Structure 1
Amino acid sequence: MTSMLVKAGIAALVAFTGISVTAPIAAAGGPEFGIYVQHQDRGWRDDRGWRDDRRWRPDRRPRGCAPWLAEAKADRMGLRRTRVVDVSRRTVTVVGFDRGGRDRVVFANVRGCPVIRR
């Protein structure tokens, strides 16, 4: 019985010693007070209802072949009255007229709009 009391006393002594050692270390910094101002820069997009600026940025071009780019490229290839008839995940199809009549050009839906078939 006495050995159990001795062990409990030693455990309490170790616990109190640990608490007394950690208290001065934690309080070494001292209290600090200050005034902090958080600055939030609101751009012109917030005024016009743009909430998610990850969707459109003026410095970033479209990743794939935009339909208007495909039409412009088909115009430069000699087609007249061009229009986009199909846009899929892989291709952009443009139809128009050339010297022989109706014609179509299929572009890949990647950057630069490479021609797949004419």
Structure 2
Amino acid sequence: MTNLIVKTGIAALIALTGFAGTATVAAAQGPEFGIYIQHGGGWHDDRRRDRWDGPRHHNRGGRCSPGLAEEKARHMGLRRARVVDVDRRTVTVVGRDRHGRDRIVFANDRGCPVIRR
């Protein structure tokens, strides 16, 4: 009887150390704290606190401009981005990413929403 209890205790100890080992491997990085300062665009302090002076991409007459589509594609990681096709519904941008040639298709609507990548 004592032998059975000892073996059960050892098995439980091995199981618990296995769970502890997987938990530390899964938690790759702990919480980080820091102070971040944004540059450019922001709230005006001089006249009205409720006036936003950020990017004005929303004021394009309801269409996606080719320049905004290229800028957005660059921010999404496309290098040497250029517009190759603009039609009534879509704006197509091609370029290169880390895997080779890639293209992003934006809707020809306000804010250039992504249709497919």
Larger radius of gyration: 1
